[in-house]
């Protein structure tokens, strides 16, 4: 399916991130990288560390281009975030080397069966892990990410994955949009103007756990940057008004459900719980 222009502008209420990030573009990068960086700096008012009179700040994140990829380095002055960058690498990161199996919790939550690869709409793409896992099974995925920097990193990872023969087929199943899917209300139709019946996935940010030693440092960077998604219930309630075959909400095991409705199925696995909802008429009959 393809999306038409947004029908309404949804204000992007993400924390003030741009003032905390400096761009660091080494000399000699390809022209297209340089122009993408310039456009990003201009659009979001980032400080370009290499601009005249600018100087590196120890309390800022550094968005750098290294090893042919965009990487976000934590501030030198911030304890607990380590030194390693946050970036998206579908090509070399071993966690993306395996295809999601139908017996795994996410595939079960999505209700995937052999020979059935429905469209998935991932409303909260983040760093694209779930999107990638579902696309690895053969599902086309339409993914939305509203945080401009998270979208930038994920888009960069997808571009590299599309350019590599090992990951191209999966990456080509993924269409990423920056923004909130609610902007596109009324536009979820296929090329023949038929209403589509996708699987909807919502995985909002949840407050970081107390025992943060268990959280990997790159994920701490991600949490610090994005914060909590306080409008997650509204997003899920909106998704429930759309046509679909299943709605999956990913939560920590102890977290409350996103709305009053009881899920038709709950799958808990380790540190994750999937609340699965069926179309309203079907679940009402159950």
Residues near ligand SAM (CB under 6 A): 123-124, 126-130, 144-147, 150, 180, 203-205, 226, 229, 235
- Torsion angles phi and psi, residue 26, rounded to 5: -70, 160
For ligand SAM, the closer CB: 123 or 139: 123
- The alpha carbon of residue 104 and the mean position of all alpha carbons in its chain are separated, in whole angstroms, by 20
Q: Which residue is nearest to ligand SAM (CB)?
A: 126
How far is Cα 148 from Cα 153, in angstroms, rounded to an integer? 9
Q: Among residues 74 and 128, whose Cβ is nearest to ligand SAM? A: 128
- Here the tokens at position 83 are 């030194």
Q: Distance between the two ends of the chain, CA-based, in angstroms?
A: 31
Q: Measured between alpha carbons, how far is 147 from 145 in angstroms, rounded to an integer? A: 6
d(CA 258, CA 234): 9
Report the candidate in 132, 133, 140 with the shortest Cα–Cα distance to residue 160: 132
Residue with tokens 């990423």: 176
Of the pair 50, 98, the CB lying nearest ligand SAM is at 98
| Minimum CB–partner distance for residue 54 and ligand SAM (Å) | 27
The nearest distance, CB 232 to ligand SAM, in angstroms, is 6
Query: Minimum CB separation from ligand SAM for residue 58, in Å?
Result: 26
Q: From the CB of 14, what's the least distance to ligand SAM, in Å?
A: 6
Written as six digits, the tokens of 87 are 């970036």
Min dist. Cβ of residue 192 to ligand SAM (A): 27
Q: How far apart are CA 163 and CA 168, in angstroms?
A: 6
Nearer CB in complex with ligand SAM: 126/198: 126
Residue with smaller CB distance to ligand SAM, 57 or 129: 129
Q: Which strand (E) or helix (H) includes residue 162?
A: helix 148-163
As measured in angstroms, the least distance from the Cβ of 156 to ligand SAM is: 14
Residues 6+ apart with CB under 8 A from 26: 64, 65, 66
In the complex with ligand SAM, the residue whose CB is nearer, 202 or 278, is: 202
């Amino acid at each position: 399916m393809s999306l038409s222009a947004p029908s309404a502008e949804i204000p992007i209420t993400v924390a003030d991130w741009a003032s905390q990030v400096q761009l660091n573009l080494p000399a000699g990068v390809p022209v297209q990288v340089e122009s993408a960086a310039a456009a990003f700096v201009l659009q979001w008012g980032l400080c370009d560390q290499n601009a005249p009179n600018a100087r590196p700040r120890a309390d800022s994140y550094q968005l750098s281009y290294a090893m042919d990829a965009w990487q976000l380095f934590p501030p030198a002055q911030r304890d607990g975030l380590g030194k390693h960058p946050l970036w998206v690498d579908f090509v070399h990161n071993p966690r993306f080397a395996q295809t999601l199996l139908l017996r795994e919790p996410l595939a079960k939550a999505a209700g995937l069966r052999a020979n059935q690869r429905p469209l998935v709409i991932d409303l909260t793409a983040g760093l694209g892990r779930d999107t990638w896992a579902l696309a690895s099974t053969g599902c086309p995925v339409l993914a939305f990410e509203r945080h401009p920097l998270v979208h930038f990193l994920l888009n960069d990872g997808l571009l590299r994955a599309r350019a590599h023969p090992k990951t191209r087929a999966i990456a080509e199943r993924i269409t990423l949009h920056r923004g909130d899917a609610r902007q596109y209300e009324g536009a979820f139709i296929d090329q023949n103007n038929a209403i589509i019946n996708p699987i909807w996935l919502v995985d909002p940010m949840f407050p970081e756990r107390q025992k943060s030693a268990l959280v990997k440092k790159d994920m701490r960077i991600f949490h610090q940057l994005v914060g909590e998604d306080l409008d997650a219930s509204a997003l899920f309630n909106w998704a429930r008004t759309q046509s679909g075959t299943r709605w999956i909400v990913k939560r920590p095991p102890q977290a409350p459900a996103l709305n009053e409705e009881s899920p038709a199925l709950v799958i808990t696995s380790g540190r994750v719980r999937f609340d699965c909802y069926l179309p309203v008429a079907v679940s009402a009959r159950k």
